[in-house]
Amino acid sequence: MSKAIFIDPKETRKSGWITFKDIPVNQYSKSIDDEKMNFSKEDFLRIYRDMAIIREFETMLYMVRTTGEYEGITYKYTGPAHLSLGQEASAVGQAYILDKDDYIFGSHRSHGEIIAKAMSCIQKMSDDELVEIMKNTFGGAILKVVEGKQKDKNSVKELAIDFFIYGAMAEIFGRENGFARGLGNSMHVFFTPFGIYPNNAIVGGSAPIAIGAALYKKVNKKKGMVICNVGDGALGCGPVWEAMNMAAMDQFKTLWEEGYKGGLPIIFNFFDNQYGMGGQTNGETMGYQMLARIGAGINPEQMYAERIDGYNPLAVIDAIKRKKKLIEENQGPVLLDTVTYRLTGHSPSDAETYRTKEELDAWKAIDPLETFKDDLVNAGIASREEINEIRQYSKELIFKIFKLAIDDSVSPRIDLVKNPDFIGNVMFSNQRIEKMEDRECDVLIPKEENPRVKQIKNKIRVGVQGDKPVSKIKTFQLRDAIFESIIDKFYADPTLIAYGEDNRDWGGAFGVYKGLTESLPYHRFFNAPISEAAIVGSAVGYALCGGRVVVELMYADFMGRAGDEIFNQLSKWQAMSAGVLKMPVVLRMSVGAKYGAQHSQDWTSICAHIPGLKVVYPATPYDAKGIMNTALMGTDPVVFMESQKIYDIGELFRKEGVPEGYYEIPIGEPDIKKEGKDITILTIGPTLYQAVEAAKVLEQKYGVDAEIIDARSVVPFNYEKVIESVKKTGKIVLASDECERGSILNDFARNITELAFDYLDAPPVVIGAKNWITPAYELEKYFYPQADWIIDAIHEKIIPLKDHIPLNNFTRLEQIRLNKLGV
């Protein structure tokens, strides 16, 4: 959305044709002789060496996994082994010109890519650089194991190769010396000092993350490009298309400011091994026939798509060289269809019922390890003996490292007996970092001149004055509180960016960002396509590269569209990296109201269920600003729930109102909104206001003095205050707008029961929304918990109230009946 772009009906309705440019298919045709001027003998042999190392690495895993031994040494490994045997030339060719500033993201089948990338980096880095990296990795723990075990004691590069192979293998075998302490395993090996970023076991999972990394490079003007390595099977996944589409957004070229103009620096590289598990992408499960074709569907540049021969390392090198140049000219994104073939099954359990022996033999006959060797010998680059020596070296290397990696005395696993909190300690990074980088913030005007900031200055920062409510228009509302916190951060952390649907210009569908556009250039604040997976996934990539980001899903209901990105990516990468990566992402989600079944669901509990996410749901302006400040100061992913019901609410609880200055409210601390002595009401989110209403009736009509606690946070959650309250009152009702079944409140109730059992006068009672669809607005009062529900439930289940006539059925029989029916 931008007024800068005129949508001309004449232009839009004009007759004509869309024309396409030809997409090159395997156009590389140079021989070794042709390339002699570009590659030295060492270069050629190094290409072969890297392919040989990968081949041996994967062979080792294949042997261990299928026969339980390698080179006469038995070892039991039952973890995943998605091997890239046969795909070595593609990997080595891709990595050949890349350095540490080029980031690669991969798939479950990425051993080859990471080894190739590491070898390439080691080749390009200075000895000092390498030594520093090795020393700094886990305090030199990996280095210590391999140090001194090289043939050439003075060769830092040889040491670095051992170091990397060992770190990767230890990771695959789940050892503490692995690059992620063994918490990542085979499908997730990565090592950021060499520009190797997380590999993803979810097919296509890397695509949205990779565009976030590209965004990070672009926005923060970082060197290098990003390659998203996924398989051809990933083209069946929506998030991959979302990522390609978002990477190709016109605004990069049309609206972004000078210096930031141009496409994202990313290559979507499809290692097109012809199969998605067993499904043949050409001829069976897809319709494109040749993968490169799809580039034509994304943008006029057709993503500079090209099919290249992944069985020829030189063809791949050639392509990457050309594409890198395009990227440097801000012509991204680029699509590469790197044709290859895996010579073993999808995994060791694959019976390969989907392909014939003839097909396999035909590919084996052109195995690059043999054909490239022949080519080198035939071209007189090296003798067969020389090349065999390299093969021998690779075998010795892998065997040497294998022995170290499986030796429990040098490669133990993390000791969860001695250190039971090890994994718990890496679930969150819990750091406090004001700005992710120390430099000037790129803004358009001083904060004081921002129109919204000026408007807020005139607002009354309390919701009631005396007994009189302040009018909505004059009150400092909850939406103002969120805005205030976020704009503050935009002027403090230069890496902070925010995006989502209709964020810029519109100011967010509910006006939270109104006025933010005036302060921020496009590259810090822009509109995303309606692509929830790409929005959240890219935030993950942006953050794990080192930036801070706030993304928004317009409605919590759209979370399903970003399921993998929230549940498998945002939540997990801190722990899957054993704390190496940080994830300073605030995911704003608004819970709808008045909008029916697909736009009015409170899904806080779904987020709370997933380990690794912090989940907050402030219900007052004071809390919203304080908690957002904390979220934006931290380094963890925070799901920040907002309610459309109360965006316009003023501060009703804190007499002093909402401070203009900076303050933080710790995440995880509930707040007593009203003290009382007879019964505790714990709420999450806007149900707080129903509780307040109920408390008034309880007091006036029944003489019951309720204490109201606002959870504010759901994960983490400190029960101490609640337990203290329950010790006092002996009774607790828990209420929120989430559907009752599976609501996190049931967890709360269980914990409270366990922690305060002897103090309870009745079992904690959970009140949620009905286990229905959210009906039309006019019927919402029958769906969401109301004050009278709270009172009725108290009467029926906790403490019969004198002369109370319940309006709702909270009897046991009804409870059993409804559960029987599943509603």
**Residues contributing to the site for another protein (CB under 8 A):** 730, 757-762, 796-800, 812
Tell me whether residue 253 or residue 804 sits nearer to another protein (CB atom): 804
φ, ψ of residue 735 to 5 degrees: the values are: -140, 140
Rounded least distance, CB 702 to another protein, Å:
12
Tell me whether residue 655 or residue 802 sits nearer to another protein (CB atom): 802
Within 10 angstroms of residue 248's Cβ, the number of other Cβ atoms is 24
**Contacts (Cβ under 8 Å, ≥6 apart) of 197:** 103, 104, 105, 190, 209, 210, 213, 544, 545
Rounded least distance, CB 443 to another protein, Å:
57
Tell me whether residue 757 or residue 777 sits nearer to another protein (CB atom): 757
Terminus-to-terminus CA distance in the chain, angstroms? 42
Q: Half-sphere exposure of residue 307, counting CA atoms within 13 Å on the CB side?
A: 19
CA neighbor of 243 nearest in space, from 201, 210, 196, 269: 210
Within 10 angstroms of residue 270's Cβ, the number of other Cβ atoms is 29
- State the maximum Cα–Cα separation within the chain, in Å, rounded to a whole number: 102
CA distance 708 to 711: 10
Query: 64-76 burial string, b = 16+ CB within 10 Å, else e?
Result: bbeeeebeeeebe
Tell me whether residue 509 or residue 799 sits nearer to another protein (CB atom): 799
Rounded least distance, CB 795 to another protein, Å:
8
Which residues, in sequence order, are bridge partners of residue 267? 227, 334
Q: What angle do CA 815, 817, 820 make, to 5 degrees?
A: 110
Tell me whether residue 589 or residue 756 sits nearer to another protein (CB atom): 756
Within 10 angstroms of residue 261's Cβ, the number of other Cβ atoms is 16
CA neighbor of 737 nearest in space, from 677, 784, 669, 793: 784
CA neighbor of 225 nearest in space, from 254, 187, 256, 268: 268
CA distance 431 to 404: 34
The answer to whether 164 and 398 have CB atoms below 8 angstroms apart is no
Rounded least distance, CB 730 to another protein, Å:
4
CB under 8 A, 24+ apart: contacts of 73-80: 73/402, 73/403, 73/406, 75/402, 75/406, 77/172, 77/173, 79/172, 79/173, 79/174, 79/185, 79/186, 80/108, 80/185, 80/186, 80/187, 80/201, 80/347
Rounded least distance, CB 802 to another protein, Å:
10
Two tokens at 245? Answer: 């589409």
**Contacts (Cβ under 8 Å, ≥6 apart) of 235:** 204, 241, 270, 281, 286, 288, 291, 294
Rounded least distance, CB 792 to another protein, Å:
12
The answer to whether 764 and 753 have CB atoms below 8 angstroms apart is yes
* Torsion region of 368: left, alpha or beta (phi above 0 gives left; psi -120 to 50 gives alpha): alpha
φ, ψ of residue 470 to 5 degrees: the values are: -80, 140
Tell me whether residue 550 or residue 704 sits nearer to another protein (CB atom): 704
Going edge to edge, which strands form the sheet with 706-710?
671-674, 706-710, 679-684, 732-739, 765-769
Tell me whether residue 470 or residue 681 sits nearer to another protein (CB atom): 681
Query: 626-655 burial string, b = 16+ CB within 10 Å, else e?
Result: bbbbbbbbbbbbbbbbbbbbbbebbbbbbe
Rounded least distance, CB 812 to another protein, Å:
7
Q: For helices 156-172 and 41-67, what crossing angle results, to 10°? A: 30
Compute, in degrees rounded to 10, the torsion defined by CA atoms 110, 112, 116, 119. 100
What amino acid occupies position 308?
Answer: I
Tell me whether residue 235 or residue 756 sits nearer to another protein (CB atom): 756
Rounded least distance, CB 797 to another protein, Å:
6
Tell me whether residue 292 or residue 694 sits nearer to another protein (CB atom): 694
Rounded least distance, CB 760 to another protein, Å:
5
**Is 599 annotated in the active site?**
yes
CA distance 777 to 783: 10
Tell me whether residue 436 or residue 760 sits nearer to another protein (CB atom): 760
Q: What sign does the CA torsion over 486, 490, 491, 495 have? A: positive
Alpha-carbon distances, residue 518 vs 446, 545, 570 (angstroms): 10, 27, 30
Rounded least distance, CB 731 to another protein, Å:
8
Three-state DSSP class for 105? strand
Rounded least distance, CB 769 to another protein, Å:
23
Rounded least distance, CB 757 to another protein, Å:
5
Three-state DSSP class for 744? helix
Residue 812: exposed, middle, or buried by beta-carbon count in 10 A (0-12, 13-18, 19+)?
A: exposed
CA distance 247 to 680: 50
Tell me whether residue 97 or residue 799 sits nearer to another protein (CB atom): 799
Rounded least distance, CB 762 to another protein, Å:
6
Compute, in degrees rounded to 10, the torsion defined by CA atoms 135, 139, 140, 142. -130
Tell me whether residue 467 or residue 758 sits nearer to another protein (CB atom): 758
Catalytic residue of the set 82, 111, 523, 599: 599
Residues carrying an active site annotation: 599
